[in-house]
Amino acid sequence: MSKGKLLGIGVGPGDHKLLTIKAVNALKKVKVICAPKSAVSKPSLALSIVQPVLKESEDNYDILEPLFPMIEDKIALSRYWDDAAATIIQKLNEGLDVAFITLGDPAVYSTFSYIGSRIANQGFTVEIIPGITSFTGCAATAGISLAEKDEIMVIVPKVDERLEKILEYADTFVVMKTSRHSEVLEEIINRDKREKEVISIRNCSMDDEMVFKGFFKDKKYLSTTIVKFKGKKMD
């Protein structure tokens, strides 16, 4: 029996209409969907995005929903990833292709990288189907460009002391999951005296999407802040 293939599929920022044609075609062909959840009681957002596509198929899907909790313990996280990889490998050994769906793009800050590498190391074929990233989706929603000509853009997954050290070397900063560190981010950005434009986006491309100028003041999870500096840094 031939082995199945693992597909890492980016499902975009939220609107199912932003799924790529390649992603839709792949989802219609597989029989197993892996949609990780951050908590047992919390439904998978990625799974909700692809539901309209799955409903178009007459076939039944086997849905795997491994738990990937939002914790910092690397040893504990590694166990969760090992368990998920083992479950997927079981399906692959049955000759079934498995679609691992992830928000945005599988190559950008995605847990898929940990699962994909584990499975590839076991000799299985792994294919990545890119998706629209959250920050390009946010820029489109806000109606702005992220970078022009020779401008430098930096993607920031976490606000810490590294950000302030590199602030003067880039023109645009995309700060993801802003709700975790909005106040610290605002302090750091405001210490730079350059003229700047700050736009924050919550729940990009979803029904409750919100775009406004400035920094977030609440703790909503799916949030991104784009900071565009204008001109050279002033001492």
Which structural domain range is residue 10 located in?
6-129
pLDDT at position 217 is 72
pLDDT band at 172 (very low <50, low <70, confident <90, very high): very high
How many domains in the chain?
Answer: 2
DSSP state of 123: T
Least confident range of 31-35, 129-133, 158-162, 165-169: 158-162
The domain that holds 52 is classified in CATH as 3.40.1010.10
pLDDT at position 232 is 61
Domain contains 157: yes
Claim to verify: residue 181 and residue 71 sit in the same structural domain: no
Whether residue 48 is predicted with pLDDT greater than 80 in this model: the reply is yes
Claim to verify: residue 107 and residue 143 sit in the same structural domain: no
pLDDT at position 113 is 96
Mean pLDDT of the chain: 92
| Structure confidence by residue, pLDDT tens digits, 72-109 | 899 999 999 999 999 999 999 999 999 999 999 999 99
Nearest 10 degrees: Cα torsion 109, 187, 224, 112: 10
Q: Burial level of 96, CB count in 10 A (0-12/13-18/19+)?
A: middle
Claim to verify: residue 120 and residue 143 sit in the same structural domain: no
Claim to verify: residue 15 and residue 115 sit in the same structural domain: yes
| Structure confidence by residue, pLDDT tens digits, 191-231 | 999 999 999 999 888 888 889 899 877 666 678 999 999 86
Structural tokens at position 24: 């839709």
Domain termination site, one of 129, 162, 192: 129
Whether residue 233 is predicted with pLDDT greater than 60 in this model: the reply is no
Claim to verify: residue 29 and residue 143 sit in the same structural domain: no
Nearest 10 degrees: Cα torsion 116, 121, 122, 128: 30
pLDDT at position 219 is 64
**223-230 β-sheet, strand order:** 153-156, 172-176, 223-230, 195-202, 210-213
Domain contains 235: no
| Selected residue with higher pLDDT from 221 and 150 | 150
pLDDT at position 208 is 87
pTM of the model: 0.91
Claim to verify: residue 139 and residue 118 sit in the same structural domain: no
Claim to verify: residue 152 and residue 64 sit in the same structural domain: no
pLDDT at position 230 is 86
- What is the average per-residue pLDDT within 133-139? 94
- What is the average per-residue pLDDT within 60-72? 92
pLDDT at position 220 is 62
